[in-house]
């Protein structure tokens, strides 16, 4: 897995991702503690609103960014966005009102909504081989898990000597370090050879995404992951500090359990993905999430709420969560040509976070007006719906060569290679605006 770090460009980008996420992880912990200070028992509701604002920015900004990123040098775009995020993080220690949190988070996450899809779409161009890219996805998942594992542990250590306000300074340092690492490499550019209008550029990623069966299935599985993830990220502070009356250190450890499960899955997945299809592995991971949510609800209702059960449940949810998210980049890579990747990664970013836009406020509201058991049961039902819908929308073997015809192309067109009808693995593009029917038709 670590052999791809021999590529200097990827190594620097990977390190940039790590330091930025370490900073983001510190901010996540600090935001939870700030919300608890300012809102007390309403902390989960405030955090739910914060995460909702984050999702609104992601859903609204990402498609626009994906449409225009090819018009500017990627390196300059990424550096500028890192600087904006660092500046916002420096303002957070001075917050005294809840509404100030909301405004700053919107600016910060708008920058992230442009940064992340651009960053993700660059990796396949740096590592074109499927095996290398799969390893990069696992390393990327490990980097994201630092936000849930190492960052909470680091926060727990820092909080013994400084106040949580100082964690926001660490966030700013992480973004500045990320910008410096991006500046140190030359990034490839991928420009479309066809001039497209503003509307077509803005909607192209969404149209490709929603016309591809495997990606429609991926969206449903993302909804299941969001249902479980919202339970963890929104409600951990209230459960540990409010319900169980434990301390800040226990909050960090509990979030680390979720990150540890996710990291373990990311380490194992490259080998599994080399032997088994993505569909089977991702559906299995979703089933793990569903089973754990239901199991936790039954356990808590029978034996009561306790920290050990939450730790175990969060760890297993982390396993399933990573099993869904880690392979998703492989699906995106094989579902778009190079020039369309920024747009389709932005579509995945926006649509998957639209799922969080539903589950974040719902998780915070449910645990505020009901009990952890009811919250777990409702989120488990939603995760089940995502699993069933995903299995239905994502047909088995959709990556195989599919016979189809092009009635709008002459027989000597270069795309047909002298064969009409012909067959090949389908990617939605100008020649294939719709997914072929099973009978070989084009509509």
Q: CA angle 79-198-406, nearest 5°?
A: 115
Dihedral-angle region of residue 418 (phi above 0 means left; psi in -120 to 50 means alpha; beta otherwise): left
Alpha-carbon gap, residue 228 to 318, rounded angstroms = 9
Alpha-carbon gap, residue 424 to 226, rounded angstroms = 34
The structure tokens listed for 247 are 């301390």
Report residue 1 CA to chain centroid gap: 21
Half-sphere exposure of 85 (CA within 13 A, CB side): 29
| Neighbouring-strand partners of residue 404 | 422
- pTM for this structure? 0.77
What pLDDT tens digit does each residue of the chain (443 aa) get?
A: 567 888 888 888 888 888 887 777 777 778 777 777 777 667 777 777 777 787 788 788 777 776 666 677 788 888 988 999 999 888 888 887 888 888 888 888 888 888 888 887 788 888 888 777 778 877 887 777 666 566 666 776 777 777 777 888 888 888 999 999 998 888 776 555 555 555 566 677 788 888 888 899 999 999 999 999 999 988 998 899 888 888 878 887 888 898 889 889 988 888 888 888 889 999 999 999 999 999 999 999 999 999 999 999 999 999 999 999 988 888 888 887 777 777 788 788 888 888 988 898 899 899 989 999 999 999 999 999 999 999 999 887 766 655 666 666 666 565 665 566 666 666 676 565 676 765 545 54
**Domains defined for the chain, CATH in brackets:** 2-188+197-393 (1.20.1250.20)
Alpha-carbon gap, residue 176 to 108, rounded angstroms = 14
Inter-CA distances, 26 with 22, 64, 175, 229, 432, Å: 6, 28, 12, 18, 45
Cβ contact 141:321 at 8 Å? no
Say how many C-beta atoms besides its own lie within 10 A of residue 140's C-beta: 22
């Amino acid at each position: 897995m670590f052999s791809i770090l021999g590529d200097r460009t990827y190594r620097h980008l990977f390190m940039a991702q790590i330091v930025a996420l370490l900073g983001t992880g510190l901010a996540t912990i600090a935001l939870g503690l700030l919300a608890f200070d300012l809102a007390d028992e309403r902390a989960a509701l405030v955090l739910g609103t914060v995460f909702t604002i984050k999702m609104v920015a992601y859903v609204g900004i990402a498609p626009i960014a994906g449409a225009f990123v090819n018009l500017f040098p990627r390196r300059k775009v990424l550096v500028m966005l890192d600087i904006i995020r660092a500046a916002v993080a420096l303002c957070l220690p001075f917050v005294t009102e809840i509404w100030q949190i909301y405004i700053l988070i919107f600016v910060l996450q708008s920058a992230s909504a442009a940064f992340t899809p651009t960053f993700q779409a660059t990796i396949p161009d740096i590592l074109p081989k499927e095996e290398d890219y799969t390893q990069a996805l696992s390393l990327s998942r490990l980097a994201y898990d630092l936000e849930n594992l190492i960052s909470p542990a680091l926060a727990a250590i820092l909080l013994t000597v400084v106040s949580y306000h100082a964690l926001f300074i660490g966030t700013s340092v992480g973004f500045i370090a990320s910008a410096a690492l991006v500046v140190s490499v030359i990034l490839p550019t991928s420009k479309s050879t066809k001039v497209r209008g503003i509307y077509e550029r803005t909607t192209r990623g969404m149209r490709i995404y929603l016309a591809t069966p495997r990606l429609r299935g991926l969206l449903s599985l993302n909804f299941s992951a969001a249902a479980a993830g919202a339970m963890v990220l929104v409600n951990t502070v209230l459960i540990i500090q409010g319900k169980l009356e434990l301390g800040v250190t226990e909050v960090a450890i509990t979030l680390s359990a979720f990150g540890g499960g996710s990291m373990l899955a990311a380490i194992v997945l490259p080998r599994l993905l080399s032997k088994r299809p993505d569909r089977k592995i991702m559906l299995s991971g979703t089933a793990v999430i569903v089973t754990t949510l239901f199991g936790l609800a039954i356990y808590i209702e029978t034996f009561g709420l306790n920290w050990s059960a939450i730790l175990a449940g969060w760890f297993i949810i982390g396993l399933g969560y990573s099993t869904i998210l880690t392979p998703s980049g492989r699906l995106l890579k094989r579902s778009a040509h190079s020039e369309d990747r920024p747009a389709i990664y932005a579509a995945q970013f926006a649509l998957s976070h639209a799922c969080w836009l539903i589950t974040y406020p719902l998780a915070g509201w449910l645990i505020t007006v009901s009990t952890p058991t009811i919250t777990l049961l409702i989120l488990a039902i939603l995760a089940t719906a995502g699993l069933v819908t995903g299995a239905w929308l994502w047909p088995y073997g959709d990556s195989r060569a599919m016979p189809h015809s092009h009635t709008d192309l002459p027989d000597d067109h270069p795309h047909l290679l002298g064969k009409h009808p012909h067959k090949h693995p389908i990617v939605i593009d100008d020649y294939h605006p719709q997914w072929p029917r099973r009978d070989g038709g084009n509509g």
